[in-house]
Amino acid sequence: MKFCLFLGCNMPAIRPDAELGIRLSLQTLGVEVLDVEGASCCPAFGTFPSVDEDATLAINAWNLANAERKGADIAVQCGSCYSSLKLGRYKLIHGKLEEINQKYLSKVGMRYEGKTDVRHIIDIMHNVIGVDKIKNSLRYSLKGMKVVVQNPCHVLRPSKKVGFDDPENPIALKNIVKALGAEVPRYSRERQCCGGAGGFAKHDKKANLEFLKKKLDAMKDEVDPDCIAVSCITCLMHMDNAQAELRKLGMIDYEIPVFDYCQLLAICQGHDPSKVARIATTPRDAVISKILRNKI
């Protein structure tokens, strides 16, 4: 089994430890992780898609074609990259493919055949690798720990074009977190977006923080979890970093550590936490120590 790991921009630029978590956990599960030579920005919705659709599809097709040359589907964690590439591919294979190939890719000797697909890490973990294989790869577990999940919006909606899970009651991320031994309690604002993507925070910081506070308060009051498991670089950075801002403003008085799912998985598989979970604003040491005491 092999996948082309699509890095996007935020992960390699700001959280390369999350990238390491993904690589090592996939490799431990027997997946060959390929790098896509010549990959670029997906492109993100606030860039080319906000100016011109053809240019957007050309860049989508550029990235898809580069992965196609490796003969494997794309694996991606960033919700925005997943959505941009998946929706772009949908538009391409439903009509624009030949035009985009001819007008843009052919000018630089490239071509996208429409074969390479785009799959999110949650989809790969749950539906390709499966929970049993994940369980069998563990050396430590999250036994006795309560973990709440934050699904990336972009893997759920629009479900007809991007979905692999129930958009109103997603179970895949919960199941793969449970596979690590954790209890995954439901909380009322579980389906609420983190608010980190796009221009919301930039346009109205106060409202954006109040929006996230509602979600965090619901987690804290109803569940009091050990940590939050996400599977999107924006959810990871926003839910982690914004907690510091909320505390500074006196809007919250607690801390809930945030991990990318693959960081938790990689730690449970025995990989070095100081490498796979190196960068965080909200301290994660207590959770990591707890995991390392849970030897299987």
Partner 1 sequence: MIEGRDPNLVKELIELGGADLVKCYQCGTCIADCPTGFSETPLSAKRLIHIVKLGLREKLLEEETPWMCVTCGGCEERCPREAEPFEIVLAIRRWQCKEDDTFVPLALGEIFARGHTQNVLNPIRKEIGLPEIVTVANNHEAMQKFREMLKETNVYKRYSYIFREE
Site residues for partner 1 per CB under 8 A: 7-10, 12-14, 16-17, 19-20, 23, 35-41, 43-55, 58-59, 62, 80, 83, 103-105, 107-110, 153-154, 156-159, 162, 167, 192-193, 195-200, 203-204, 207-208, 210-211, 275-276, 278-279
Instruction: Closer to partner 1 by CB, 109 or 250: give it.
Output: 109
Cα distance from N-terminal residue to C-terminal residue, the chain: 27
- Shortest Cβ distance from residue 31 to partner 1 (Å)? 15
Nearest approach, Cβ of residue 127 and partner 1 (Å): 20
Least spacing, CB of residue 49 vs partner 1, in Å = 6
Helix-helix angle 285-293:261-268, to 10 degrees:
40
CB of 182 to partner 1, least distance (A): 25
* Nearer of residues 189 and 247 to partner 1, judged by Cβ: 189
Pick from 207, 218, 63: which is nearest to 148 by CA? 218
Please give the Cα distance from 89 to 22 (Å, whole number): 24
Q: Which residue, 66 or 175, is less far from partner 1 as judged by CB? A: 66
Which residue, 197 or 239, is less far from partner 1 as judged by CB?
A: 197
Q: State the nearest-atom distance from the C-beta of 186 to partner 1, in Å.
A: 18
Residue 120 or 178 having the CB closest to partner 1:
120
- Catalogue the E-assigned strands of 169-237: 227-230
Q: What is the DSSP string of 79-135?
A: HHHHHHHHHHHHHIIIIIHHHHHHHTGGGGT----S---EEEHHHIIIIII-HHHHH
Report d(CA 179, CA 232) in Å as an integer: 19
